[in-house]
Structure 1
Amino acid sequence: MKKTRILATLAAATLVAACGVQPTGVVPAGPGPSIRATTGAAVLGGVTLYFVSDGRVIPVTRPTEGFISPEGALMLLLKGPSEGEAAQGLTTFVPPEVGRVEVYSGDPGTIVLPFTVRKLSNQAINQLVCTATAASTAIGRPPAFQRMTVTFPNGDALLQTCKSG
Structure 2
Amino acid sequence: MRHAPGQAPGRLRTALLVPAALLLSGCGIPSTGVVESGEPATGAQSPALVYFVRDGALVPVPRTSAKRFDLSTAMALLLKGPDPVERKEGLSTLIPPMKADPKVGVEGAKVSVVFYPGSRPLKGAGLQQLICTVAHARQVEDPGIGLVSVTVTGSLGGSGTWRAEGSTKTCAVASSPADAALQAQRP
In the superposition, the TM-score normalised over structure 2's length comes to 0.57
**1:139 deviation in Å?**
1.1
SS of corresponding position for 1:152 = strand
The equivalent residue for 2:37 is none
Query: Matched residues in 1 for 2:145 and 2:118: separation?
Result: 23
Amino acid aligned to 1:56: A
Please list, as runs of the form range in 1=range in 2, the aligned pairs for 1:4-83 lying within 5 A after superposition: 44=45, 46-83=47-84
Q: 1:133·1:143 contact (CA, 8 Å) conserved in 2?
A: no
Query: Matched residues in 1 for 2:98 and 2:131: separation?
Result: 16
Q: 1:103·1:132 contact (CA, 8 Å) conserved in 2?
A: no
The equivalent residue for 1:92 is 93
Number of residue-to-residue matches in the alignment? 124
Deviations 1:13-55, CA, capped at 9 Å, x for gaps: xxxxxxxxxxxxxxxxxxxxxxxxxxxx5xx274320001221
The equivalent residue for 1:113 is 115
**1:97 deviation in Å?**
1.0
- Runs of 5+ unmatched residues, structure 1: 1-40
Q: Identify if the C-alpha distance between structure 1 residues 112 and 83 changes in structure 2 by more than 3 Å, giving closer, same or farther.
A: same
The equivalent residue for 1:135 is 137
Q: Identify if the C-alpha distance between structure 1 residues 150 and 144 changes in structure 2 by more than 3 Å, giving closer, same or farther.
A: farther
Residue from 147, 153, 156 that aligns with 2:162: 156
- Runs of 5+ unmatched residues, structure 2: 1-43, 174-187
Amino acid aligned to 1:99: A
Q: Percent of pairs identical after alignment?
A: 28
Query: Matched residues in 1 for 2:101 and 2:91: separation?
Result: 25
Amino acid aligned to 2:154: F
Query: Matched residues in 2 for 1:115 and 1:93: separation?
Result: 19
**1:141 deviation in Å?**
7.5
Q: 1:49·1:59 contact (CA, 8 Å) conserved in 2?
A: yes
Query: Matched residues in 1 for 2:97 and 2:129: separation?
Result: 13
Q: 2:46·2:140 contact (CA, 8 Å) conserved in 1?
A: no
Q: CA RMSD in A?
A: 2.6
Q: 2:70·2:138 contact (CA, 8 Å) conserved in 1?
A: yes
Q: Identify if the C-alpha distance between structure 1 residues 112 and 141 changes in structure 2 by more than 3 Å, giving closer, same or farther.
A: farther
Residue from 115, 124, 128 that aligns with 1:126: 128
In the superposition, the TM-score normalised over structure 1's length comes to 0.63
**1:83 deviation in Å?**
0.5
Q: Which has the larger radius of gyration?
A: 2
Query: Matched residues in 1 for 2:56 and 2:144: separation?
Result: 26
